């Protein structure tokens, strides 16, 4: 008998989190090496950096972007910018395998014709975290966020529409994709402090791609 999937990855499965939100386990597993390779290429021209929040806090997650615009933060606020403030040049283009994966994942979760214009790339090392927040800097309030996990596993925090709502702790592993849009678009979410570890694809880090339809 020929196994369909290798020993350390399970068959893809879809778990409904809420109306408009799904966890697609293993959806990106086959493409994970290619996606990580593309991240390496992107960061040669737009390096990972630790952004400062308007409140003056330096984020523990390192970030960069690709696509028509990139998400940036500084003392003046959050915004989408067509120019990387670190280089003065446009962000690297969104690689075809990124776009392809995002469109297929969105469709699998019920969002046809997804057309993201930005991909925020997050890099977590041990201890790095992302506090509970809503993604609300995008003009399109219906198109989904597509979030792809690569490398070390993490605890993804999945809350509700109010900050005070109960929070579920979901283990996300390399190749898992979370999609939330429509009625779930403004759900609070975050990432618990990353546990130290070693992953064959990404070493001591977790990489996350979040696709957004900004305009």
Contact set with ligand SIN (CB under 6 A): 120, 122, 130, 147, 156, 189, 191, 208, 210
* Smallest gap from residue 118 Cβ to ligand SIN (A): 11
First to last CA, the chain: 49
For Fe ion, the closer CB: 135 or 140:
135
123 binds, among ligand SIN, Fe ion, none (CB under 5 to 8 A by kind): none
Whether 163 and 188 have beta carbons less than 8 Å apart is answered as yes
**Element spanning 83, H or E:** none
Pick from 132, 136, 193: nearest CA to 163: 132
As measured in angstroms, the least distance from the Cβ of 172 to ligand SIN is: 7
Residue whose beta carbon is closest to Fe ion: 135
Residue partners of 86: CB distance under 8 A and separation at least 6 = 46, 47, 49
Please report, as ranges, the residues that interact with Fe ion according to CB under 5 A.
135
Asked whether the beta carbons of 8 and 173 are under 8 A apart, the reply is no
Which residue has the CB atom at the shortest distance from ligand SIN? 208
Q: Which of 34/49 has CB closer to Fe ion? A: 49
Q: Closer to ligand SIN by CB, 7 or 58: give it.
A: 58
* 175 phi-psi bin (left φ>0, alpha ψ -120 to 50, beta other): left
User: Minimum distance from CB of 189 to Fe ion (Å)?
Assistant: 6
């Amino acid at each position: 008998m020929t196994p369909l999937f290798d020993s350390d990855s399970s068959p893809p499965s879809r778990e409904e989190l809420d109306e408009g939100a799904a966890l697609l386990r293993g959806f990106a597993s086959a493409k994970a090496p290619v996606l990580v390779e593309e991240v390496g290429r992107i960061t040669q021209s737009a390096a990972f950096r630790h952004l400062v929040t308007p409140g003056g806090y330096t984020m523990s997650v390192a970030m960069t972007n690709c696509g028509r615009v990139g998400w940036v933060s500084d003392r003046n606020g959050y915004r989408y910018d067509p120019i990387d403030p670190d280089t003065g040049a446009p962000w690297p283009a969104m690689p075809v395998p990124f776009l392809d994966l995002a469109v297929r994942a969105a469709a699998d979760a019920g969002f046809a014709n997804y057309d993201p214009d930005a991909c925020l790339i997050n890099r977590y090392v041990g201890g790095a975290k992302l506090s509970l927040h809503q993604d609300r800097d995008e003009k399109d309030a219906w198109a989904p966020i597509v979030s792809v996990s690569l490398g070390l596993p993490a605890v993804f925090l999945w809350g509700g529409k109010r900050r005070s709502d109960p929070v579920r702790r979901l283990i996300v592993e390399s190749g898992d994709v979370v999609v939330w849009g429509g009625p779930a678009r403004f759900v609070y979410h975050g990432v618990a402090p990353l546990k130290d570890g070693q992953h064959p694809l990404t070493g001591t880090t977790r990489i996350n791609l979040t696709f957004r339809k900004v305009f």
